[in-house]
Chain A
Amino acid sequence: MMATYLEFIQQNEERDGVRFSWNLWPSSRLEATRMVVPLACLLTPLKDRPDLPPVQYEPVFCSRPTCKAVLNPLCQVDYQAKLWACNFCFQRNQFPPSYAGISEVNQPAELMPQFSTIEYVVQRGPRSPLIFLYVVDTCLEEDDLQALKESLQMSLSLLPLEALVGLITFGRMVQVHELSCEGISKSYVFRGTKDLTAKQIQDMLGLSKPAMPMQQTRPAQPQEHPFVSSRFLQPIHKIDMTLTDLLGELQRDPWPVTQGKRPLRSTGVALSIAVGLLEGTFPNTGARIMLFTGGPPTQGPGLVVGDELKVPIRSWHDIEKDNARFMKKATKHYEMLANRAATNGHCIDIYACALDQTGLLEMKCCTNLTGGHMVMGDSFNTSLFKQTFQRIFSKDFNGDFRMAFGATLEVKTSRELKVSGAIGPCVSLNMKGPCVSENELGVGGTSQWKICGLDPTSTLGIYFEVVNQHNAPVPQGSRGAIQFVTQYQHSSTLKRIRVTTIARNWADVQSQLQLIEAAFDQEAAAVLMARLGVFRAESEEGPDVLRWLDRQLIRLCQKFGQYNKEDPTSFRLSDAFSLYPQFMFHLRRSPFLQVFNNSPDESSYYRHHFARQDLTQSLIMIQPILYSYSFHGPPEPVLLDSSSILADRILLMDTFFQIVIYLGETIAQWQKAGYQDMPEYENFKHLLQAPLDDAQEILQARFPMPRYVHTEHGGSQARFLLSKVNPSQTHNNLYAWGQETGAPILTDDVSLQVFMDHLKKLAVSSAC
Chain B
Amino acid sequence: MAELYVKPGNKERGWNDPPQFSYGLQTQTGGPKRTPLTKRVAAPQDGSPRVAASETSGPPPMGPPPPSSNAPRLLPVGSSPAHSVEPMGFPAFESEALIEDVLRPLEQALEDCRGHTRKQVCDDIGRRLALLQEQWTGGKLSTPVKKRMALLVQELSSHQWDAADDIHRSLMVDHVTEVSQWMVGVKRLIAEKRSMSSKKETNEEKSEAAVENRTIPSFQEAL
Taking Cβ atoms with an 8 Å cutoff, the residues of A that contact B are: 150-151, 153-154, 156-158, 161, 181-183, 237, 240-241, 244, 248, 377-379, 381-387, 390-391, 394-395, 397, 572-573, 578-579, 581-582, 616, 620, 623, 625, 627, 629-635, 637-639, 641, 643-644, 646-648, 652, 654, 658-659, 665-666, 669-670, 673, 675, 680-684, 686-687, 689-690, 692-694, 696-701, 705-709, 717, 728-729, 737, 739-742, 752-753, 756-757
Contact = CB atoms under 8 A, between A and B. Distances in A.
A578 B47 CA distance: 13
Contact of B41 (A638, A646, A681, A709): A638
Contact of A706 (B18, B45, B59, B187): B18
Contact of B60 (A157, A669, A690): A669
B181 A693 contact: no
Contact of B26 (A381, A390, A693): A390
A387 B21 contact: yes
A643 to B, nearest CB: 5
A241 B52 CA distance: 62
A741 B43 contact: no
A553 to B, nearest CB: 14
Contact of A379 (B14, B20, B65, B191): B14
B37 A150 contact: no
B68 A379 contact: no
A740 B57 CA distance: 7
B10 A632 contact: no
A183 B79 CA distance: 53
Nearest to B61: A666
B18 A705 contact: yes
B75 interface: yes
A623 B39 CA distance: 11
A327 B69 CA distance: 64
A631 B13 contact: no
B124 interface: yes
Contact of A708 (B19, B29, B41, B82): B19
24 contacts: A154-B172, A154-B176, A181-B120, A240-B184, A240-B187, A240-B188, A378-B14, A378-B17, A379-B13, A379-B14, A383-B9, A383-B10, A384-B9, A632-B53, A639-B41, A647-B56, A647-B60, A687-B74, A694-B37, A696-B83, A699-B21, A700-B25, A709-B16, A739-B55
A707 B9 CA distance: 10
Contact of A382 (B9, B71, B121): B9
A694 B34 contact: yes
Nearest to A638: B41
A572 B42 CA distance: 13
A395 B48 CA distance: 48
A709 to B, nearest CB: 5
Given A639-B50, A643-B49, A634 B74 contact: yes
Interface string B61-97: 1101111100110111001011100000000000000
A157 to B, nearest CB: 4
Contacts of A705: 18
Contacts of B37: 625, 627, 635, 637, 652, 654, 694, 698
Nearest to B79: A693
Given A652-B37, A742-B52, A756-B47, A633 B9 contact: no
Given A616-B38, A684-B65, A741-B52, 19 more contacts: A150-B176, A150-B180, A157-B184, A158-B173, A240-B188, A382-B14, A382-B17, A387-B21, A395-B27, A629-B74, A631-B72, A633-B74, A634-B74, A635-B35, A646-B52, A646-B54, A658-B16, A681-B67, A756-B43
B183 interface: yes
A620 B10 CA distance: 26
Contact of B176 (A151, A753, A756): A151
B6 interface: yes
Given A241-B124, A675-B64, A697-B34, A248 B180 contact: yes
Interface in B1-34: 6-7, 9-10, 13-21, 25-30, 33-34
A469 B130 CA distance: 80
A129 to B, nearest CB: 16
Contacts of B147: none
Contacts of B146: none
B16 A573 contact: no
Contacts of A680: 67-68
| Residues of B in contact with A, size category | 35 or more
Nearest to A676: B65
Contacts of B38: 616, 620, 625
Given A643-B52, A675-B64, A699 B19 contact: yes
A693 B81 contact: yes
Interface of B: 6-7, 9-10, 13-21, 25-30, 33-35, 37-43, 45, 47-57, 59-62, 64-68, 71-72, 74-76, 79, 81-83, 120-121, 124-125, 128, 168-169, 172-173, 176-177, 180-181, 183-185, 187-188, 191
Contacts of B52: 643-644, 646, 741-742
Contacts of A694: 34-35, 37
A616 B33 CA distance: 15
Contacts of A581: 43
Given A637-B41, A654-B37, A387 B20 contact: yes
Contacts of A241: 121, 124-125, 128, 184-185, 188
B26 A156 contact: no
Nearest to B65: A684
Closest 6 CB pairs of A and B: A382-B14, A383-B9, A708-B18, A383-B20, A707-B16, A666-B60
Nearest to A161: B191
Nearest to B183: A157
Contacts of B60: 647-648, 665-666, 669
A157 B59 CA distance: 56
A670 B62 CA distance: 8
A157 B174 CA distance: 12
A670 B41 contact: no
Nearest to B20: A383
A670 B47 CA distance: 34
Contacts of B40: 579, 582, 623, 625, 637
Nearest to B124: A241
Contacts of A673: 64
A387 B9 CA distance: 10
Given A157-B187, A241-B124, A631 B10 contact: no
A106 B34 CA distance: 42
A648 B184 contact: no
Nearest to A693: B81
B172 A157 contact: yes
Contact of B30 (A387, A391, A701): A701
A387 B183 contact: no
A385 B146 CA distance: 27
Contacts of B33: 697
Contacts of B29: 397
Contacts of A240: 184, 187-188
A708 B75 contact: no
Given A381-B13, A683-B66, A756-B43, A237 B191 contact: yes
B173 A377 contact: no
A689 B188 CA distance: 43
B42 A579 contact: yes
Contacts of A689: 81, 83
Contacts of A378: 13-15, 17
Given A150-B176, A639-B43, A384 B34 contact: no
A381 B10 contact: yes
A148 to B, nearest CB: 11
B49 A707 contact: no
A686 B21 contact: no
B75 A686 contact: yes
